[in-house]
Amino acid sequence: MSNKVLSCGDFLKLLNDYVDLNVSEKESLLIGEHLDACDSCKLRVTNAIKVKKMIKSTYGVGASIIDVRSKVMSKIRNRDNVSVRSDKNVDLSSKIMSKITEKRKPFNAVKFSLSMMENYKVLSIAVATLFIITATIVYSQAESKKLMAARSKIESYALEHSSTAPTDYRASTNSIADSIGNGITPVNFSE
Amino acid sequence: MKTDEKIIERVLAGDISKFEMLIEKYQTQIFYVAMNISRNKDTAEDIVQDAFIKAFDKLQTLNERAHFFPWLKRITINLALNNYDKNKRIVDVEVEDSEVSFFDRLPDDSDPESIMINDELKRYVRLYVDALPERLRRVIIMREVEDLSYEEISEILNIPLGTVRSRLFNARQVVKDRLIKQGLTDSLVSRTAN
């Protein structure tokens, strides 16, 4: 609305908004000025407002002809999920109940370990690897202890029976011990 | 609307029976909202029931509890519109700018001068509004009767704001012109009819 004076055509475009109180303050001032000068448009406004009122009074709220209270309330009460609030409770209680039921089941070690493995896959793999490494170390340590015991046995045996060759008995025992370590049957010195 | 807020708080706290107070308070107004769109008493009553049940179910989502009634009214309007579309038997074949042809559908009525002026006027207003193409009728009912804003009408009917304005303008023009043509000019000034 850049013009300072409204024409009837301009006003007609604003008539709806005017009767619905949907115009800006500036538009309202321009319309006011136009209506002061134009009787036809003033009557258009009067008619438009009258039609509005007629429609409102025709379709407006009349006497109370229905009562749906009991029907609605019984529908609300009789439904499976009684209400929004109880829906919440149902959810919560079902969760609690499922947890309780789970607790009451007999303990099954295999199932438990499987479920644990399922839940903690990465952790299980790490634990298994650690177990294998530890077992290998323990096994190799036990093997070396056995070897040491055999070596000392042979050493003492060699000492007892090598009075004829005292100078290089150590070398001999070492080679015998090495032979044992390599799976070769030791030579019987007593022969 | 403080009472509404209190009632809603009680209902949300679990006292379902308090919801009955809201039904009692608004059922008549909601019935007329449904009736004005559906134009059938039985259908309107079903819509009212559905609207209250839906409102009860969605009560938690209502942030402005003081605005319960406008919220309920919108639920009702949406249900009534959906219901109308579902059961629509009359197809509007007219294009947007050919509202005048609706006059052909108007039935002949008895002499309006034989009835009291006010009732007569109402009867004719209803006749002319109901004879409007549905798309115009909806807009004029929502605006004049339900006091919805242009924006609300645009949102509910999913049409542009400009379309709301043009439909409203056309609907008012048609009703006014028809009232004047029918000779019901005691309340309207005939020389402004064009």
| Residue A129 sits in the same domain as residue A103 | no
Number of domains in chain A: 3
pLDDT at B188 over 70: no
Considering the domain boundaries, does residue A52 fall inside one? yes
Query: Touching check for A60 and chain B: CB below 8 Å?
Result: yes
Task: Look up the CATH architecture of domain B2-86.
Answer: Orthogonal Bundle (1.10)
pLDDT in tens, B164-178: 999 999 999 999 888
As to burial, measured by CB atoms within 10 angstroms (0-12 exposed, 13-18 middle, 19+ buried), residue A71 is: middle
Question: pLDDT grade, residue B99 (50/70/90)?
Answer: very low
Among B23, B31, B122, select the one facing A72 at the smallest CB separation: B23
pLDDT in tens, A54-74: 898 888 877 777 888 888 998
Question: pLDDT grade, residue B93 (50/70/90)?
Answer: very low
Among B19, B52, B189, select the one facing A46 at the smallest CB separation: B189
Query: Touching check for A76 and chain B: CB below 8 Å?
Result: yes
**Residue ranges of domains in chain B:** 2-86, 99-192
CA distance A43 to chain B (A): 6
Does domain B99-192 match CATH 3.40.50.880?
Answer: no
Among B16, B140, B150, select the one facing A22 at the smallest CB separation: B150
Q: How far is CA B24 from CA A57, A61, A87, B7, B9, in A?
A: 23, 15, 25, 12, 17
Q: Which residues contact A12 (CB under 8 A, 6 or more apart)?
A: A41, A44
A4 three-state secondary structure: coil
pLDDT in tens, A122-162: 787 888 889 999 999 999 888 888 888 888 888 888 877 76
Its ipTM equals 0.72
